[in-house]
Amino acid sequence: MIKSEYTHEVFRKDIHCPQGLLENKNYAELENFFNVLWQSRSYKLPQLWENEWFDQPKQMFKDIFLNHGITALKHINEWHLAFPESFFPYIVRVRYWAFWAAEYRGQEWSSNVTDEMWDCAREAQKQLYASAMQAFAFSAETWTIALHLLNSAVHLDEPEWFAEWMLKRRYPSNLAHKIKPSAQAMAQKSGLNQDLKIDLPQDVPQLLQKYLNLKEEIDLPQADAAFWLKIFIEESGFGLLAVRDYCWYLLPRWGHDHQAIIDFAQSDWCQHFSEIEKSELNYIVWFDTLDTSFDKDQTLEIKKYIQKAQAILKRPLTERNRAVIYLKLAYFYYLLDENDPRILSCYQNAADYPVFDEYELDRAIYFWRHNAQDSDFLGRIALSNRKRLASAAVLYGFLCQHGWCSVEKNPLVAQSWYEQAKLLEAPKAYPEGRYCCFFRVANNFDDDHGYIFIIDLLHQGADLGFVYCCFNAGYIHSLAEHALYDVNQELYYAKKAADQGHYIAMYNMGIHYLNLSMDENQSQPKEYLKKSLGYFEQSRLGLEKSQQDHRYINSDLLNDLIDIYVTRLFNFSYYPEIAEQIIAVLKTKAHKRHIAAMCAIARLHFDLKNRPHYYDYAEAVKWCQAAYLQDPEHDLVKEVLYEIMGNTKRSIKKYNQTIANIAASDIPGRQDVLI
């Protein structure tokens, strides 16, 4: 039985990563935490210490760095003032700028990184390098920050001004932040601005001076990164963590090859490592030979890779790396047969290690539901990954709620893990927020027993601000034949989804208020029409922008919005100050040869009886003729033409005379003359 535990119980036991110290200005406790962690180097295995030194603060600071960057920077500075003799605030300041340089750069291929992302990443890199030099100048014990410089040198290239300063002792003449207007909002998240000072020391720190000759002598791939690697190795006396990072940058995707890693692992730089430690480097090559994607019909290739994975499992591996290979093997079996019983063995071997990503967790849930509901591996996966993976936190809470997969049933525990998921993955507005951690769990269970199992999950996710949960909770409560049908709940969650930019929810809210405005007993239809149009326009403008940015495309919904404007222009046009927005949209569409928009405008200007304030016979004829030129056989065109032209000789003559008085170039939507 897997015990159900509240998050505070779990993190209280996890004394290695106390939460909230920087947020709450507990500077003395921060000092104590880092001092204990630093001193533990004297009695812990080097590899364990290096991992803890970087991983534990990463877990502690991720939320405040990402979501409250300016506050984090302010508190780091206060910490430094409170403990001026400590080198720990220097290290954390470097970590902060390393975090943001990487966050701005993102994990995308370089071709997918926007100009604003590049600009902000390189501005953050200026602070990273300057802060690192301040740290080195203050104390040689800050050598661990060399790892952040190693990674930055690869991802962003080393700044040209830095080599001039370090090797030629030329202080940059104009070292200031240059932030374009288009990048201001993005830069503000970290506190970057034009006036933020870049404090680069005048002299090269003593720690670096003994390595200056090495800078120009290194004959290795990724030479700038190798320079920082050498410093890390020499100062630490070990350095496997940094070596491992460096070797990842020698993979083919970075323009090198596997042989470069094999050669480096056998070089003098790595002679102090044991064979099992060197296997960590060889593992990078082994894993990369498996790190590929296939179509399911590539059966022969997949079988070859299964043999490769099975062979790798016979080599010396850490248990964690072995678990990763089992996950690869499970993926290959899945490609051949989603229900292959060998997949179960792979998951059982990998379940107890924090190595799952979102895709692997999704496949594990699928396999459990369809083939292994009597196994506890899914509960073990949720348990081992719940502190680091948002979807695993949601899954653990969900399993606690229902008592599945050998997890102790305790619905009260679930909420705390949903809140933990929010810390790991902040809610995003639509459309980015549609594939969130709650989606990745609920989507695997939403066809079981007609949504009964997932409705509480969706309610709690909605209350935490996840737009997917808001919309789907509203949808479930809208199903008239369903036991969960509830009009008030439907409206509540639909509005929450609309407020977070869900285009369909905004459309639905617009329809809701439009229907209220047309109620015969409604004494104030104008206010409802204003609300309705507000939602429609938010939806339309958001859809058009998302389509232009290639983030989200829903042509059917855009067409539905225009159809609403066409068919309900009559209702809106009683209030000109409201209708003007719709008319402007319809005219834009009409000039692009939208027949229904042309017909709606023609009818608007012809309705003397009901809408005299818009009556303009010449305009009505112009737009009617424009529609006729597009498609004279269109049923709607025929209908509007009959209304405006009539069927008497007098009305027909009037129509034709009006056309004759309109210049051909003034009739919208005319077909270009073919030459």
**Got the DSSP string for 532-549?**
HHHHHHHHHHHHHHHHHT
Name the residue range of residue 618's domain.
598-675
Please tell me what DSSP assigns to residue 387: T
Name residues of the chain where pLDDT drops below 50: 673-675
pLDDT value at position 383? 97
- 508 within a domain of the structure (yes/no): no
> CA–CA separation, 673 vs 89, rounded Å?
73
Write the Ramachandran bin of 311: left for phi over 0, alpha for psi from -120 to 50, otherwise beta.
Answer: alpha
Alpha carbons within 13 angstroms on the beta-carbon side of residue 204 total 15
Beta bridge partners of 664: none
Write the Ramachandran bin of 406: left for phi over 0, alpha for psi from -120 to 50, otherwise beta.
Answer: left
79 CB-contact burial (10 Å; exposed 0-12 / middle 13-18 / buried 19+): buried
Residue-wise over 642-668: b if at least 16 C-beta within 10 A, else e? eebbeeeeeeeebbeebbeeeeeeebb
- 214 within a domain of the structure (yes/no): yes
Question: Does residue 407 sit in helix, strand or coil?
Answer: strand
- 250 within a domain of the structure (yes/no): yes
pLDDT value at position 636? 96
Q: How large is the greatest C-alpha to C-alpha distance in the chain, in angstroms?
A: 105
Element (H, E) at 479: none
> CA–CA separation, 128 vs 92, rounded Å?
11
Please tell me what DSSP assigns to residue 2: B
- 654 within a domain of the structure (yes/no): yes
Alpha carbons within 13 angstroms on the beta-carbon side of residue 344 total 12
Q: What is the CA radius of gyration of the chain?
A: 32
For residue 431, is the peptide bond before it cis, meaning its omega torsion is within 30 degrees of 0?
yes
Q: State the total domains in the chain.
A: 2
Question: Does residue 22 sit in helix, strand or coil?
Answer: coil
Question: Does residue 564 sit in helix, strand or coil?
Answer: helix
> CA–CA separation, 269 vs 135, rounded Å?
26
Question: Does residue 119 sit in helix, strand or coil?
Answer: helix
Amino acid at 573: S
> CA–CA separation, 126 vs 120, rounded Å?
10
Amino acid at 113: V
> CA–CA separation, 467 vs 480, rounded Å?
22
Domain boundary among 245, 274, 291: 291
- 385 within a domain of the structure (yes/no): no
Domain boundary among 269, 291, 313: 291
Domain boundary among 246, 269, 291: 291
The beta strands (E) that lie in 574-618 are given as: none
Amino acid at 186: M
> CA–CA separation, 309 vs 93, rounded Å?
41
pLDDT value at position 449? 61
The DSSP secondary structure of 124-175, one letter per residue, reads: HHHHHHHHHHHHHHH-GGGGGGHHHHHHHHHHT---HHHHHHHHH----TT-
- 674 within a domain of the structure (yes/no): yes
- 220 within a domain of the structure (yes/no): yes
* Angle of CA points 57, 60, 66, to nearest 5°: 105
Q: If we measure between CA atoms, which residue out of 479, 512, 482, 518 comes closest to residue 495? A: 512
pTM: 0.83
> CA–CA separation, 133 vs 122, rounded Å?
17
- 464 within a domain of the structure (yes/no): no
> CA–CA separation, 106 vs 485, rounded Å?
42
Residue-wise over 110-136: b if at least 16 C-beta within 10 A, else e? eeeeeebbebbbbbbbbbbbbbbbbbb
259 CB-contact burial (10 Å; exposed 0-12 / middle 13-18 / buried 19+): exposed
567 CB-contact burial (10 Å; exposed 0-12 / middle 13-18 / buried 19+): exposed
pLDDT value at position 671? 57
Report yes or no: 348 and 381 within 8 Å, Cβ to Cβ: no
